[in-house]
Amino acid sequence: MRAVVQRVSLGEVTVEEKITGSIGKGFVVLLGVGQGDTQKDADYIADKVANLRVFEDEQGKMNLSLSDVGGSVLAISQFTLYGDCRKGRRPGFTQAADPDQAKTLYDYFTERLRQQGFEVQEGIFQADMLVKIYNDGPVTMLLDSKRLF
């Protein structure tokens, strides 16, 4: 499972000109599910998102987590995180999970964050979405449950 986590002052997702999710301070999480991912991968990513200390404390150091600042999460399904661009000019997506598996694990991920007390807003799975991201910092983290960067 892969995630791009962006610290934001505002995040919003629109589908067919209707806002389906909106947050203030927190994280926009672009989440991709890969072949062979399980609930263990979703647990790992959810735990990282919940506990990343990338918000500034009183001294201006990145030392506070999402819960420390009362932040929210805007979760966006993003199968293109598994796009393989190594050959040619058109990405291949054979490493991405099939839509049923991806939806199940995406829903599990968002539920894990809600169980920890976080407000989680969402886009619509497999929809064409317009995502507004006001990246604060900018701070962007890449997470992968299978490998290190």
- Is 118 among the residues known to form the active site? no
- Is 80 among the residues known to form the active site? yes
Closest CA to 75 of 145, 8, 17: 8
Active-site residue identified among 6, 27, 78, 118: 78
Active-site residue identified among 55, 79, 109, 118: 79
Residue 132 burial class via C-beta count within 10 angstroms: exposed 0-12, middle 13-18, buried 19 and up = middle
- 134 within 8 A of 9, measured Cβ to Cβ: yes
CA–CA separation, 37 and 119 (whole Å): 24
- Is 78 among the residues known to form the active site? yes
Active-site residue identified among 39, 80, 115, 126: 80
Active-site residues, by number, are: 78-80
